[in-house]
Amino acid sequence: MRLVTMLAISLFACHPGTQTAHEPVPTGVWGGNGMQLKVTNKGGVIDYGCDSGTIDERLQTDSHGKFSARGTHTFGRGGPRQPGQPGAKPREAQYEGVRKGDELELTVRLPDLDRKIGTFTVKLGQPPTLERCG
């Protein structure tokens, strides 16, 4: 019985999709439909194709793979900007999601506008599919 218990614990501990408490999301480029996320040791940079964003703190998962971080979201617009025309104003953003191995499900919300930008699934090392504004 002791051997069976030790074997079961070993198999669970070695499972590649298992996360430990407060594990950082791996750095690198995560891509998917509508989003590219470049995770760094200090947060991340997001390219939606037209809009952009930042994650201003390190992405850390809990024991269930969930994470939450603050950052910004900037709405893009197509066409050239006229001289002297101000750039788009970054808005406060909340990024929440869950990591399952090499995949993240990420929901982006703008609290000051009471608006959900969307939920995106990105995978580590996968090229994004982005539509540029025009």
Tens-digit pLDDT profile for residues 10-43 = 444 444 444 456 799 999 999 999 999 999 999 9
What SS3 string covers 37-54?
EEEECCEEEEECCCCEEE
The percentage of residues in the chain with a pLDDT greater than 90, rounded to a whole number, is: 69
CB atoms within 10 A of CB 62: 15
What distance in Å separates the CA atoms of residue 130 and residue 133, rounded to the nearest whole number?
10
Indicate the pLDDT class of residue 77, thresholds 50, 70 and 90. confident
- Residue 27 exposed, middle or buried by CB count within 10 Å (0-12, 13-18, 19+): middle
Q: Is pLDDT at 101 greater than 90 in this prediction?
A: yes
DSSP, collapsed to helix, strand or coil, labels residue 31 as strand
- Mean pLDDT, rounded, for 104-110: 98
Sign of the CA dihedral with 48 first, then 123, 125, and 92 last: positive
pTM here is: 0.79
The percentage of residues in the chain with a pLDDT greater than 70, rounded to a whole number, is: 81
**Structure tokens belonging to residue 42:** 């200090």
